[in-house]
Amino acid sequence: MTRVWRRIAAHEWRIMRTDGLVWPLALLLATTVAWGLYSGLQSRTVVMAGITSAQSDESQRYSRLQEQLARRDAAIARGDSQIPADPRSASTLAGRTGSRAAVLPPTPTALLSVGQSDLLPSALRVSSEPREQMLAAAEIENPHRLLDGRFDLSFVVVYLLPLVVITLAFNLLAGEREHGTLALLLAQPVSLTQVVSAKVVVRFGFVLAVSLAMVGAGVLIAGLGEGPAGAGWRLAGWTVTVLVYVAFWFAVSLLMASRGWSSATTALATAAVWLAAVVVIPSLTNLIINATYPVPSRVELVQATREASDSASTRGSVLLAQFFEDHPEMAPVVAPGQPAAPNFAATRVAVASEVARMTEPVARRYDEQLARQQQAASWFKFLSPALLAREALDDFAGTGPHRHADFRAQVDRFHATWLEYFNPRIVQRAALASFDDVPAFTYTEESAGRVLGRAGTALTALALLAGLCGLVGLRRLRTYPLTHSI
């Protein structure tokens, strides 16, 4: 940086400071950032409340079970004739009574973006109930609010920050040219690139300083909460995303400014790019993804499950016999000539396993189609910088679709383990030695490398786009018309 460049930058800052528009704009930006943070904080509180009550529900159920066990032990000690049923029996614990809360704890940076956390539940209840039913749980929310989306920081960054950038930058050159001062300025020993870069850097610094200072203050006041570790890199990644996204919009503004249009036309053209990138393309992308990889509504799955369970229920006794053929080790030992006592729990297990087996192809078709759709979405996001930025912001806040999908996959696996653990015990009418033997779920956080890799791809694409727009803009400056002819 030369002294001249610094002088231009300082002068530019002096002009900006005295401009009547800049401070109201800064105030607006600061207010929206504050509102966005507040909104994110509210949302995190709601998610935490859901998690806490799911966990306290579980511990209440287990303390009731403990009391039952104590009563039973007392009855046995007293030698009562009526002994209460054992609450540790596998069939009791596998059902709703012993169900475990599987929770996705918010990350320390969750307040930076609401993401999908208002739509997808952060607490699921795992028991022997069918997988589809377990995964269908949803958080309560007014559907109109889900439709509108939240006024969170992601919204402020993705939608509003670019508009602030455009307002500050549409007049990079056209104004000076229209006033005739540009030619005069370039009569000095400076290049056009130096002038433009100084102007951009001052504005860039201004936008970042205002928004990041607000976010920093907000985070300090609100605190990051007691989430899983990773506050440092998540916060850093989020900040870099904002930086790159803002840089992208300055690059677009530079590109538009270098066309040599009037300031009004430049403003309109940049606004049109914003409209396309932030509003039209994401929504069109949504349309295209849904049209190319439509995930059939769950209506079909519901009906398939129902038919499978009808068919399995009618074959209950046959299925049970088959089940014992497959698992001879669990078959009841019956004295010759004596009929076996009916084992309803075993029939239920056999029927449920059969239903799961029969619906598995339909469920798998859904999951595969969903995966294909996500795959398509991961390509289509490159069409819009807003989609790229949103994904990276949500990823760093830990509220994006990927972390939720990971959580659901882990819960799904845990559910399978659960069935594997309990089914044989139910059939054998076994009781667990202790309540602590009931499998418990803990979410294993995605590794930082995986999140960084994913968000990094989006960020790199965004940075490349920004670099491309900036370079083309700078090149165009060489042939920029310096004087204004009406």
Residue 151 as a binder of other proteins (CB under 8 A): the answer is: yes
The CB-of-456 to other proteins minimum distance in angstroms stands at 17
Using CB under 8 A, count the residues that bind other proteins.
80
Residue range at the interface with other proteins (CB under 8 A); choices 53-61, 331-339, 350-358, 426-434: 53-61
Q: How far is the CB of 282 from other proteins (least distance, A)?
A: 4
Applying the rule CB under 8 A, the residues between 180 and 219 that interact with other proteins are none
Residues 275-304 within binding reach of other proteins (CB under 8 A): 275, 279-280, 282-287, 289-291, 294-303
CB under 8 A: which stretch of 146-154, 250-258, 460-468, 469-477 binds other proteins? 146-154
State phi, psi for 124 to the nearest 5 degrees. Answer: -120, 160
Q: Which of 18, 82, 142, 188 binds other proteins (CB under 8 A)?
A: 142
Report, in Å, the least distance between residue 329 CB and other proteins: 33
CA dihedral 419, 98, 138, 158 (to 10 degrees): -90
Q: Is 63 in the site for other proteins (CB under 8 A)?
A: no
- For position 39 contacting other proteins by CB under 8 A, the verdict is yes
Q: Which is nearer to other proteins, 61 or 327 (CB)?
A: 61
The answer to whether 458 contacts other proteins (rule: CB under 8 A) is no
In the window 86-125, what residues touch other proteins (CB under 8 A)?
Answer: 115-116, 119-121, 123
Q: Which of 394, 427, 446, 477 binds other proteins (CB under 8 A)?
A: 394
Q: Residue 171 Cβ, how far from other proteins at the closest point, in Å?
A: 10
Is residue 2 at the binding interface for other proteins, with CB under 8 A as the rule? no
Name residues contacting other proteins, limited to 232-261 (CB under 8 A). none
Instruction: Tell the smallest beta-carbon distance from residue 204 to other proteins (Å).
Output: 21
**Region of 187-195, 271-279, 336-344, 438-446 interacting with other proteins (CB under 8 A):** 271-279
The reply to whether 7 sits near other proteins by the rule CB under 8 A is no
Residue 371 lies near other proteins (rule: CB under 8 A): no
What's the 3-state SS for the chain? CCHHHHHHHHHHHHHHHHCCCHHHHHHHHHHHHHHHHHHHHHHHHHHHHHHHHHHHHHHHHHHHHHHHHHHHHHHHHHCCCCCCCCCCEHHHHHCHHHCEEEECCCCCCHHHCCCCCCCCCCEEEECCCCHHHHHCCCCCCCHHHHHHCCCCHHHHHHHHHHHHHHHHHCCCCHHHHHHCHHHHHHCCCCCHHHHHHHHHHHHHHHHHHHHHHHHHHHHHHHCCCCCCCCHHHHHHHHHHHHHHHHHHHHHHHHHHHCCCCCHHHHHHHHHHHHHHHHHHHHHHHHHHHHHHCCCCCCHHHHHHHHHHHHHHHHCHHHHHHHHHHHCHHHCCCCCCCCCCCCCHHHHHHHHHHHHHHHHHHHHHHHHHHHHHHHHHHHHHHHHCHHHHHHHHHHHHHCCCHHHHHHHHHHHHHHHHHHHHHHHHHHHCCCECCCHHHCCCCCCCCCCHHHHHHHHHHHHHHHHHHHHHHHHHHHHHHCCCCCCCCC
User: What is the footprint of other proteins within residues 300-359 (CB under 8 A)?
Assistant: 300-303, 306-307, 310, 314
User: Which residue in 149, 205, 223, 232 binds other proteins (CB under 8 A)?
Assistant: 149
Range in contact with other proteins (rule: CB under 8 A) among 159-167, 209-217, 230-238, 441-449 = 159-167
* Pick 3 or 144: Cβ nearer other proteins: 144
* 50 contributes a contact to other proteins by CB under 8 A: yes
The stretch among 1-9, 190-198, 262-270, 449-457 that binds other proteins (CB under 8 A) is: 262-270
